[in-house]
Chains A and B, each alone.
Chain A
Amino acid sequence: MPEKILESFEIRRLEILDPKGEVDESLMPSLSADEIKKMYELMILSRTFDQRAIDLQREGRLGTYASILGQEATQVGSAFTIQKSDWIFPSFREMGVYMTLGYPIHQLYQYWAGDERGLKAPEDLNIFPICVPIGTQMLHAAGAAMAAKYKRDPIVVITYFGDGATSEGDFHEAFNMAGVFKLPVVFICQNNHWAISLPRERQTAAKTLAQKAYAYGFEGIQLDGNDIFAVYKGTKDAIEKARRGEGPVFIECVTYRMSSHTTADDATRYRSKEEVEMWKLKDPILRLKLFMERKGLWTEPYQKEIEERSRQIIDEAVRVAESVEPPHPEDMFTYTYAKPTFRQLKQMEDF
């Protein structure tokens, strides 16, 4: 009997905006000038938030913080396509997603300063709290998608994770569940090349992460994660597909973590300066700026104006975060169970 080829696959990579700011018009999504400016402003705001967080950490006003520097296009571009009724299960490095969705910025600072009240999402936003274990939240996304499907709610669930998470068992279990039950879930990997000190090549021997979806029976696509138009289009298409009931999609956004893993980490111990310098040339904000300049959407005064506005927004968020009354110790007990246990009630008398 001759051998047969049962399956073969190819992985698409989407790039629209190059580092010089030129776009492939045939792929360009339809976005108004206002929308493009809004995206740019959200990226600037995200970067301002991030820089301030690091400064505050250095001043001892914030705890350990995980920077998003360099990943602004992935976060803003993808979140820009999410509808209010959709559900989002982030990991811990998605401040740009939270901000794009309109999460109160002072709450983000509150959380990183060690106040759990920062994690309570506003009622009109279905975003889950920051997830510290790696990759576990992908299953919650699959579960929420399963529940939405059961209730016939026309929503999509979006979950974010990093390249390191693709090595975890729950990544595979979540992909498997999503594939088997054809769930309306979009998996977004921010492949930022580094899981603390381990490079992407030490996470998997596969050539792309996107191809992993193939084994679970659904589509995987790789995007240039520093190209906000590719991220926007790739995510929008995936969300629409999931919303039509055509099952999950896995999006690998190839981006780069320009800072250390967290403020407690020193990336110079394990990666070269040359590599970082090379990625600086691919800066997602710079790239969109060049495009906008060509289109007459960017000027020096505009840049100054939005930087100033971002600073004001961030100043105000920090002020609010730091002026919130500290939590009462009873707050520890309030949310363990719906009602405190007999024993907790006794323990609460300590306060």
Chain B
Amino acid sequence: MPQLNMVQAINLALKEEMMRDPDVVILGEDVGKNGGVFRVTEGLWEQFGSERVIDTPLAESGILGISIGMAAYGLKPVAEIQFVGFTYPALDQIFSHASRIRSRSRGRYTCPLVIRTPYGGGIKAPELHEESPEALFCHMPGIKVVVPSTPYHAKGLLVSSIRDPDPVLFLEATRLYRLIKEEVPEGDYTFPLGKARIVREGKNITLVAWGSMLHKVLQAVEGYDDVEVIDLMTLHPFDEETLFKSARKTGRVIIVHEAPKTCGFGAELSATLAEEAMLYLKAPILRVTGYDVVMPLPKLEDFYLPTVQRIRKAMEDIIKY
């Protein structure tokens, strides 16, 4: 079985879905001849041609706006936005249209669109290249939000996202693109959207994370016994049951994300746990997050992102409580 990194796994998912379904098309800036700025679409233009791997003009709202029209017409576009910070000019199309076409047309038209975009820090990139705005999208009904954390899961989740009848924002942690390699099988396999996975079982503390923070958490729990780690994988709709079950078992929950704390997705998880599992909790739900600041440029980004030390501190605090 081939050892692939995240870029190669996503590329394989795209290739296999395009071979399987002629309605799948790719579009975005530089996705064709150049193979994408991160090379995620490498080789696809050569294999499928410029009608299916479409280099578009530089226009984010335009890319997503035409993707919506294509999706409504019956294709399954996979649009790439080069960095998630550049979805901001296209939020109108995502929020005003992609998310509500099914609703506005009472099911007559739908938007089976995937928006693929790298997100997150830790790569020493310029402004707006390291954003983590997943909560914005989770708040908008009509969109699904998927964040894989490994190459193997990225492939299965992307295939599910492409086959999903609703618009999916597929966030790819830039820091993970080439960080890890693992066995990624060729051929069809999927992971259902809306299901979390337990990465490590334990009885004392539950740590919840997604995307690149999952790996920070796995580093932090090294040497700690009986710590449960959950990879949420889909943020909207998220897997409440797996979360409740774990919280009831451990009684202690720490949520780790790199987005700012205020109104971050951790707030939603925390409130949900407070509503459903309050009486099982032995300590307050803790959040280890980015700060409520604009994502800093490289000189300060390591101070912004949650660290192994901050996660361990939270684990010590929650046990002592």
Contact = CB atoms under 8 A, between A and B. Distances in A.
B202 interface: no
B108 A170 contact: no
Contacts of A176: 57, 59, 62
B160 interface: no
Contacts of B220: none
Q: How large is the interface on B (under 10, 10 to 19, 20 to 34, 35 or more residues)?
A: 35 or more
A336 interface: yes
Interface of A: 87, 89, 116-117, 119-121, 123, 128-129, 132-133, 136, 138-148, 150-151, 157, 169-170, 173-174, 176-177, 180, 334-338, 341-343
**Of listed A133, A157, A336, residue having the most chain B CB within 10 A:** A336
Nearest to B105: A129
B66 interface: yes
Interface in B62-101: 62, 64-75, 77, 89, 92-93, 96-97, 101
Given A136-B93, A337-B102, A120 B70 contact: no
Is chain A's binding surface mostly helix, strand, loop or mixed?
helix
B62 A170 contact: yes
A297 to B, nearest CB: 38
18 contacts: A87-B73, A117-B106, A119-B106, A123-B108, A128-B72, A129-B105, A139-B62, A141-B69, A142-B65, A143-B77, A147-B73, A151-B75, A174-B66, A338-B102, A338-B164, A338-B166, A341-B237, A342-B194
Contact of A128 (B56, B64, B65, B109): B109
B61 interface: yes
B165 interface: yes
Contacts of A138: 65
A336 B102 contact: yes
A338 B96 CA distance: 18
Contact of A120 (B61, B67, B108): B108
Given A177-B56, A177-B59, A336 B65 contact: no
B104 to A, nearest CB: 5
A158 to B, nearest CB: 13
Contacts of B61: 139, 169-170, 173
B62 to A, nearest CB: 3
B66 A142 contact: yes
A170 B89 CA distance: 10
A334 B104 CA distance: 11
